[in-house]
Structure 1
Amino acid sequence: MSDMTVKDFAAKVGRDVPRLLEQMKEAGLKHKSEGDAVSEEDKRQLLDYLTKSHGGDAEKAAPKNRITLTRKTRSRINTGERGKTIEVQVRKKRTYVKRAEEESKPEPVEDTGPRQLVGDMADSQQAQAAKEAREAEEAKAKAAEQAAQEAAAKLEAQKAAEVPDIPVPELETPAPSDEPPAPPKEGRSDRRTAPPKKAAAKKGRHERDDDDREERRRGGGKKAKRAERRGGRRGGSSQGGGKHGFQKPTQPIVREVSIPESISVADLADKMSIKANEVIKTMFTMGAAVTINQTIDQDTAAIVVEEMGHKPKLVKDDALEEEVLESISYEGEELTRDPVVTVMGHVDHGKTSLLDYIRQAKVATGEAGGITQHIGAYHVAAEKVNGSHGVTFLDTPGHAAFTAMRARGAKATDVVILVVAADDGVMPQTIEAVEHSKAAGVPMVVAVNKIDKPAADPDRVKNELSQHGVISEEWGGDTQFVHVSAKTGEGIDELLEAVLLVSEVLELKAVPEAPGKGVVVESRLDKGRGPVATVLVQNGTLKKGDIVLAGLHYGRVRALTNELGKQVDEVGPAMPVEIQGLDGTPEAGDDFMVLADEKKAREVANFRQGKYREVRLARQQKAKLENMFSQMGQEVAAKLNIVLKADVQGSLEAIKGALEELSTDEVEVAVVSSGVGGITGTDANLALASEAIVIGFNVRADAAAREIIEREGLDLRYYSVIYQLIDEVKQAMTGMLAPEWKEEIVGVAEVRDVFRAPKIGAIAGCMVIEGSVHRNKKIRVLRDDVVIYEGELESLRRFKDDVQEVRNGMECGIGVKNYNDVQVGDKIEVFDQVKVERTL
């Protein structure tokens, strides 16, 4: 408080500025105006002076931090009768004590309670008003007592004389009563009693006065009741001995702040009951510049809370989700279930054809380009596999872009069939399939396919797989190798027996009576049926009408459809099925479960969506902050914006990942929008606003979208094979690359002699020793193989004729433009810049 002025000090101690300046002058201080600064030494000197002036000894006082002030006020009280008032003098006595720095601030006590002279000395307006009212009532009572005693003395002295009644202020507010007033006590006068020893002749007059006083008393009681009711509505400021209800905290409030995994600055400030500017200021001093709506992570928020003096409490965001999941019981009788088998391998090694032979259906003929581009789930009955149980097959694509989909297929399966072509051997996607199955801890059966071909070499497959840790049982390993042919059917039965043998060793169990749970294999948006998701039930039973929570979406199952297109009412463990009724298309690989309460399912889904949105925004904001300064001064990369729509979620994710991997430092591929389903007018408008090309993978544009695309001239492309899509996008990116310029030396001429012409300047007589010298191309002058000048030719002559070109082995005269310091032995190099188109 070193910058406090006289005016501020006067406001703190409750004094007028002129009066305070007068006291400071008496104390020997040199303050003359309200703008002069008041130091701690000035306050101490003033305190010593005031202590001496009130009879104290500033030198002997042990703690020089106490001062007692007495203030006199005069006021007039109306007694209720016309023209009759009483003058009341009130003396206020107040003691201030300066608080020691090491002590906590004491609670305020009336009149003689300790107060801090420098700091908060003024009470709140409500407390001050209540105190003044209380002191006025006490002064009023004392004045009334004194007036009553004087009146009684005068009446006794005059006795028979007629004297007017002295009005007494109203002090008590008893309820009206018909009983006669009680006699007054000794030494006091009560206004309910008549004055003692009145003359008989004046009895009637005094009786009338008693009636008047009784009437005033009743009226005063009503006024007091009304005042009491008003005081009660205002919070009872005069209750409890006259103390007000609010008291300033004596020490800082420490709160326990619950912090989720991500929280905005505004919400964090609200939890600490402070302004957001304080949080921003604190984080700025810690080296982090944030805005009020910026989202920060849990660790950063905990550091900020501790810095501001509160206790952080880390809260897990998935508390509601865990509560819902723990409420589901999967207990019951465990029964043996069918195995779930994933078929993996390189593209065109015969995975779908092998499964097609097992299912006795033509699945491969329906695939675009003859390759599988999204996961298919099929169940084969027990009679087709010659066993007591059926088998569920998951067919995963083999293309490199579908690595993530194959990874999900491995996690959802019990056994992996690795298909390797006997005539092709181990390929890159084959190695990836081995890595995925090992990472998931899933046993593997190797199917060596295409053994019917003349170039088949099964031992080559065993040898190459052994280099990657897959060793055949014949070679002392633990992996079964089965030779099969998807064309002739050779070895199919042996392959199924090997799969059933591995599943028996695993002892696969499930509880059919439990609520259904499993994994989402695929999802798409059907125009007639809405969101459709292919799910694999891993435990329990999924029934029609169940409440399903799948990833970020939920809904009630309206229909169940198996892979043959037939409607079913329920499906058990290890069965694939298509469900309808979700409010969106979940991601391939998301877990799904059946809940009993639709409200709980909606709450968890909304929570997951909010959390996903917050994490995405936080990631975007972090990327912006980290790249803000690193991108300064750099050239902005060209950007190819794409609006992508696909038929199913798995294909959409794979294509999106493949396109984003094409980005380079100079050309960036940005998928501004992606989704499942046909191309709509909204997609076309978004492409128009973002200057993007529209790509449809196995989907088409509706009428509204086609109208916008044709009117605005947008680039719309349809694809059904992922190879063509990636290749054409790569070509479009190549056209956006900045070209390179390459210098090409056309010819070199050596200076043999120098001629001086008065009007032209120095002319170099040269011999062309390499290539050709051209009149309209740029040149460099080299001396001792060091470039000393770069410019253009002013003249090129052959004898007396101007020529455009002089070939190797011929003499010529060369005039260099704006350069005359040509010497014998210099070389004139003629070069050209060639534009080179770049490729990715």
Structure 2
Amino acid sequence: MSEVTVKQLAEDVGIPVELLLSQLSEAGLKQNQADDAISDEEKLKLLSHLRQSHGKSTESGDSPKKITLKRKTVSELKQPGTITRSPGGRTGATRSAGKTVSVEVRRKRTYVKRSEVSDDEARTQEAEAARKALEEQAEQKRQIEAETEARRSAEEQRRHAEEAAKLQEEEERKRKELEEQQRQEEEEQRRQEEEARKREETQRKQVGEKEEKKDLEEELREARLKEEAQRIAEEKAGKKGAHRKDERPKEKGKGARGKEKEQLHVAESKRGRRGKGKAAKQHKPVIQPQGDAQHGFVKPTTPVVHEVEIGENITVGDLAQKMSIKAAVVIKELMKMGMMVTINQPLDHDTAVLVVEEMGHKAVTQKEEDIEAEVMSTLDEEQGEKVSRAPVVTIMGHVDHGKTSLLDHIRETRVAAGEAGGITQHIGAYHVETGHGMISFLDTPGHAAFSAMRARGAKATDIVVLVVAADDGVKPQTIEAIQHSRAADVPIIIAVNKIDKPEAQPDRVMQELSQQDIIPEEWGGDTQFVQVSAKTGQGIDELLDSILLQSEVLELTAVKDGPARGIIVESSLDKGRGPVATILVQSGTLRRGDMVVSGQEIGRVRAMLDENRQQVNSAGPSIPVEVLGLSGVPNAGDDVVVVSDERKARELAESRQEKNRDSRLAAQKAAKLDEFFSQMSEGEVNYVNLIVKADVQGSVEALKESLVKITTEEVKVKIVATGAGGINESDVNLAMTSNAIIIGFNVRADATARRAAEDQGVDIRYYSIIYEIIDDVKKAISGMLTPEVREEFIGLAEVRDVFRSSKLGAIAGCMVIEGTVKRSNPIRVLRDNVVIYEGELESLRRHKDDVNEVKSGTECGIGVKNYNDVKVGDQIEVFERTEVAREVL
């Protein structure tokens, strides 16, 4: 038999190659790889070793004459499973498990050694032993394969069970949604039926009143006709019998009239709806046509006092309707009070109460049990199990103290490089998965103009990390951040940054903060101080440990399974995506497709993005996400709630919009009146009208707050309009009508707006740093201020003698005792340090020569223009006026 490799022999025998190699090594053979050749002698040597290992000894010369080997191979063929769908298509699809078919192949091979054919019996025994050894190995292999197959089958069954459970949960959820939808439809149908029933009752009542009134008029008309016919008949009868019965008819007539006079009222039983029967006709009232007849409608003897419910705002028309009077009467009363109003103008609560009391009615404060209270009460009822949540940490501090750089090192990103001037001008929200756990960060700007933004950050946070530069110390914005944190009752962790610099003085920072009642733990206080370096990464791990330690002390928990509630961190208007809001979820789970209400805006969550602009389907407590799908740009700091009923959500948003509109109109009216009276009392005031547009709502608020503070008694800044988003044509038209300047902060005007601004001469200015806006507005106000006139003392001359001249009048002989007397400057004549005349010099002479100026210690002659009452001892003061441009500090 020719040589074969170890691999081929293993395949022929039906055992793994590794097992065969181990047996060859035990037998003392040199083969150690699958491709090594093995000869017949080596095979016999291996066979002898195997026999010895199984307890059968043989002499060195024994070798088998013939050996027969049987090998059985079992393989499997898998058929894929089938997918079965339900007929309705609503319960999903069912996937059946595939089939497995076992295929068994048996082979038999005999080996004969021709040189020793005679010793058949011994060789047969050796072949039998080898066969048994190989069968044992094959049996072990089959057991291993069977165990593997059993594990695989169990895993397949477990996976099928999980898929079936998921399908069942999905079906249950769809069933509940269908039941909820049907319940809402039934409620809506019942409400519509109730409204229709009420309308039908109102119409039926109105028809009954009309019929009653018509019946009453018909009865009155019939009574008048009957009375007129009776009177005519009596007159005819009186004329015929006047000569025989002269007195008695008169008395009879007088009695008849008295009887009729007693029947001039409408019977109590007839004041309702008149009957149509015979009994009703028998009780018809008799009406006398004389002037002393009494009608059925009696004027009230006492005034009617109504209880008028008044909310926060109410229009003039609604107020008049509640008092059951005409709107003109209310307007007249308001004009007496000095207010010019219209029928649709809203009045505030105090003004409305005053008007109601002046009109003699009683004012009652209306309870605000509106749709908002109803929605919020339903949200409060939904409680769940509270679980621990990640802390929300706000990074605060002064400008350029390394807040964003510190956060960059934690996030391993770079944010400050993308901000204009290296200054953070927005609130950034991030959540970071650290080795110590998850932490959500809010990065707030440090400039003084963003006080409102930092205040919002403090309200939404659990822990404040106050960054103080070791080489700069405590600054005004550092103190302001401490005040915001204390107002929100939030614990503070001090991060002393930039300790890698040579001029760093951490002890100085601790000393300055101790003056603000921030005492380090090393000094016996309760505030953690951590020395860090955003550049080298020193102390970052200690800072994260301090944050998580503080969060464990606070025991932060939130409801995870329930409708989400959160806060708007930032919002903006994106040209391609529409309104975009950054929401920090505070409780519950916000999912894609939820209906949310934020302030006056509603919408369904179309998409959610994390801080890396990656799509996410849900966000739990303490997770900030960007949300698309709102109807408009909400205000930063507004609450966000998830509601299940879209109709209630729209009613809530409309109610808030109406309240905001009424409050805004009332405030505008009050502002106009205040401006009117202030202008009457203070005189003319100049205004700098501005329209502010920015990229995000938070920047708009910060700019508005900063610009309004730049005011003086003569010039005031007036913000005409604000908004988030680009500058459009309507902004340009508003600027033209209000004579305003448009300020664009990180936004630009579109092509239509640019053309309109060029045609109409509207000034549009673009900025990316807030310092430049404030400086330019200050310059504009400084240009509108009237220049300040300053008087500078030049010289003083004392009158020693007075000479009279026929041409010039009184000439004062003077001695210049201080400064210089100049001809071209104005003068004042002082007598006993009291100004008695102010004018100018007519002549200035030194001896007989006219001179322009005379210095101190020199005599001169001074002629005062249009003034001849100069006396000895008077003083002539010379000064000059200079105009200095005023600036806004």
TM-score by length of 1: 0.69
CA contact (8 A) 2:796 2:819 kept: yes
State the Cα distance separating 1:654 from its structure 2 match.
Answer: 0.4
Corresponding residue for 2:75? none
CA contact (8 A) 2:395 2:403 kept: yes
State the Cα distance separating 1:643 from its structure 2 match.
Answer: 1.4
Q: Residues 688 and 281 from structure 1, CA distance in 2 versus in 1: closer, same or farther, beyond 3 angstroms? A: closer
CA contact (8 A) 2:827 2:877 kept: yes
CA contact (8 A) 1:130 1:237 kept: no
Alignment equivalent of 2:680, drawn from 632, 640, 652: 632
Alignment of 1:430-469 (within 5 A): 430-469=478-517
Corresponding residue for 1:345? 397
Secondary structure at the counterpart of residue 487 of structure 1: coil
State the Cα distance separating 1:416 from its structure 2 match.
Answer: 1.4
User: Does 2:435 align with 1:386?
Assistant: yes
CA contact (8 A) 1:127 1:237 kept: no
CA contact (8 A) 2:392 2:439 kept: yes
Corresponding residue for 2:323? 272
Structure 2: distance between partners of 1:734 and 1:236: 94
CA contact (8 A) 2:216 2:274 kept: no
Alignment equivalent of 1:242, drawn from 276, 281, 284: 284
Structure 1: distance between partners of 2:742 and 2:813: 63
Q: Residues 128 and 678 from structure 1, CA distance in 2 versus in 1: closer, same or farther, beyond 3 angstroms? A: closer
Q: Residues 659 and 236 from structure 1, CA distance in 2 versus in 1: closer, same or farther, beyond 3 angstroms? A: farther
Q: Residues 697 and 236 from structure 1, CA distance in 2 versus in 1: closer, same or farther, beyond 3 angstroms? A: farther
Deviations 1:195-248 (A, max 9, x none): xxxxxxxxxxxxxxxxxxxxxxxxxxxxxxxxxxxx999999977933699744
User: Does 2:291 align with 1:291?
Assistant: no
Alignment of 1:373-772 (within 5 A): 373-381=425-433, 385-387=434-436, 389-626=437-674, 628-772=676-820
CA contact (8 A) 1:793 1:817 kept: yes
CA contact (8 A) 1:330 1:511 kept: no
Identical amino acids, percent of aligned pairs: 59
Structure 2: distance between partners of 1:838 and 1:394: 41
State the Cα distance separating 1:600 from its structure 2 match.
Answer: 1.7
State the Cα distance separating 1:707 from its structure 2 match.
Answer: 2.1
Structure 2: distance between partners of 1:479 and 1:127: 88
Q: Residues 778 and 469 from structure 1, CA distance in 2 versus in 1: closer, same or farther, beyond 3 angstroms? A: closer
- Which ranges of structure 1 fall in alignment gaps of 5 or more residues? 1-123, 148-230
Secondary structure at the counterpart of residue 601 of structure 1: helix
Structure 2: distance between partners of 1:235 and 1:288: 60
CA contact (8 A) 1:130 1:238 kept: no
State the Cα distance separating 1:674 from its structure 2 match.
Answer: 1.2
Deviations 1:238-294 (A, max 9, x none): 779336997447565454433211112221111222113433555677x67463444
Structure 2: distance between partners of 1:235 and 1:265: 48
Structure 2: distance between partners of 1:240 and 1:426: 101
CA contact (8 A) 1:260 1:317 kept: yes
Q: Residues 365 and 128 from structure 1, CA distance in 2 versus in 1: closer, same or farther, beyond 3 angstroms? A: closer
Q: Residues 638 and 629 from structure 1, CA distance in 2 versus in 1: closer, same or farther, beyond 3 angstroms? A: closer
CA contact (8 A) 2:371 2:648 kept: no
Structure 2: distance between partners of 1:141 and 1:830: 112
State the Cα distance separating 1:582 from its structure 2 match.
Answer: 1.2
State the Cα distance separating 1:542 from its structure 2 match.
Answer: 1.4
Structure 2: distance between partners of 1:753 and 1:254: 88
User: Does 2:385 align with 1:333?
Assistant: yes
Structure 2: distance between partners of 1:377 and 1:621: 39
Deviations 1:628-658 (A, max 9, x none): 4454242222211111111111011001100
State the Cα distance separating 1:675 from its structure 2 match.
Answer: 1.0
Deviations 1:749-791 (A, max 9, x none): 3334433333443333334333333333322233343333222
Corresponding residue for 1:323? 374
Corresponding residue for 1:130? 219
CA contact (8 A) 1:524 1:533 kept: yes
Letter matched to residue 321 of structure 2:
D
Alignment equivalent of 1:826, drawn from 862, 874, 879: 874
Q: Residues 811 and 468 from structure 1, CA distance in 2 versus in 1: closer, same or farther, beyond 3 angstroms? A: closer
User: Does 2:398 align with 1:356?
Assistant: no
Deviations 1:352-398 (A, max 9, x none): 111100001111211111111110000112xxx213x4111111111
State the Cα distance separating 1:335 from its structure 2 match.
Answer: 2.4
Corresponding residue for 1:797? 845
Structure 2: distance between partners of 1:629 and 1:748: 46
User: Does 2:424 align with 1:372?
Assistant: yes
Structure 2: distance between partners of 1:335 and 1:787: 84
Letter matched to residue 130 of structure 1:
E
Equivalent residue pairs, number: 627
Deviations 1:122-144 (A, max 9, x none): xx999687346236558979999
Secondary structure at the counterpart of residue 886 of structure 2: coil
CA contact (8 A) 1:554 1:602 kept: yes
Q: Residues 262 and 749 from structure 1, CA distance in 2 versus in 1: closer, same or farther, beyond 3 angstroms? A: same
Secondary structure at the counterpart of residue 390 of structure 1: strand
Structure 2: distance between partners of 1:299 and 1:490: 61
Alignment of 1:197-208 (within 5 A): none
Range moving further from structure 2, 776-785 or 548-557 = 776-785
Structure 1: distance between partners of 2:804 and 2:304: 96
TM-score by length of 2: 0.66
Deviations 1:483-503 (A, max 9, x none): 211111111111111211222
Letter matched to residue 377 of structure 2:
E
State the Cα distance separating 1:449 from its structure 2 match.
Answer: 1.5
Letter matched to residue 427 of structure 1:
K
State the Cα distance separating 1:435 from its structure 2 match.
Answer: 1.8
Structure 1: distance between partners of 2:681 and 2:303: 48
Structure 2: distance between partners of 1:237 and 1:308: 47
Deviations 1:496-548 (A, max 9, x none): 11211222222222333211210000001111111111111111121222211
Q: Which has the higher helix share?
A: 2
Secondary structure at the counterpart of residue 680 of structure 2: coil
Structure 1: distance between partners of 2:737 and 2:671: 24
Structure 2: distance between partners of 1:139 and 1:817: 104
Q: Residues 439 and 787 from structure 1, CA distance in 2 versus in 1: closer, same or farther, beyond 3 angstroms? A: closer
Deviations 1:648-688 (A, max 9, x none): 11011001100001112111011111111112222222222
CA contact (8 A) 2:794 2:880 kept: yes
Q: Residues 455 and 235 from structure 1, CA distance in 2 versus in 1: closer, same or farther, beyond 3 angstroms? A: farther
Secondary structure at the counterpart of residue 394 of structure 1: strand
Q: Residues 338 and 759 from structure 1, CA distance in 2 versus in 1: closer, same or farther, beyond 3 angstroms? A: closer
State the Cα RMSD in Å. Answer: 3.2
Range moving further from structure 2, 304-313 or 720-729 = 304-313
Q: Residues 628 and 641 from structure 1, CA distance in 2 versus in 1: closer, same or farther, beyond 3 angstroms? A: closer
Q: Residues 128 and 724 from structure 1, CA distance in 2 versus in 1: closer, same or farther, beyond 3 angstroms? A: closer
Structure 2: distance between partners of 1:802 and 1:467: 69
Q: Residues 694 and 234 from structure 1, CA distance in 2 versus in 1: closer, same or farther, beyond 3 angstroms? A: farther
Deviations 1:545-576 (A, max 9, x none): 22111111111222111110112222222111
Structure 2: distance between partners of 1:461 and 1:370: 24
CA contact (8 A) 2:334 2:341 kept: no
CA contact (8 A) 2:795 2:821 kept: yes
